[in-house]
Amino acid sequence: MRRIQAGRFVAIGVAGLLAVTFSGEAASAQTLPFEGRWATDADRCSPARQAAAKAPITITATSLAAPPAMTCNFTSVLPGGASFRVEATCQAMGRTGHEFFTFAVLGERLYWTWGERTGVFDRCPG
């Protein structure tokens, strides 16, 4: 087992599997494929075309913000082939919950699977 620690970011590699665990701060690392701004329609990436309910979501290595009312802080990210399994603490509509979902990026599309649902998003430029 190999353990790498930079700041408060810890990565543990076991038999080819990389587990990424966050404890508040992320060290500078390679950008993950799902990081960026994503919209259900690429036209909604333009600030002039953003309605609050359809504004792009923003995903970093440690969090997700889905306007107007949902935010998640990732507690772990596990890669598995073309997808990443995410464990997070999320807040929406005044409630907090412990959630599991996956992100998969194919080309310029993000597939966000949560429970029985899959949302498809286009990457916003810049």
Mean pLDDT by 10 residues, the chain (126 residues): 31 33 49 94 75 80 92 96 95 95 96 95 92
The ranges assigned to domains in the chain are 32-123
- The pLDDT of residue 42 is 82
Residues with Cβ within 8 Å of residue 123, at least 6 apart in sequence: 36, 37, 38, 42, 108, 109, 110
Max Cα–Cα distance, the chain, nearest Å: 50
Q: What is the pLDDT of residue 19?
A: 42
Fold annotation for 32-123: Lipocalin (2.40.128)
Q: What is the pTM of this model?
A: 0.73
Q: What is the pLDDT of residue 51?
A: 57
- Residue 95: its pLDDT value, please? 95
Predicted local confidence at residue 50, as pLDDT: 54
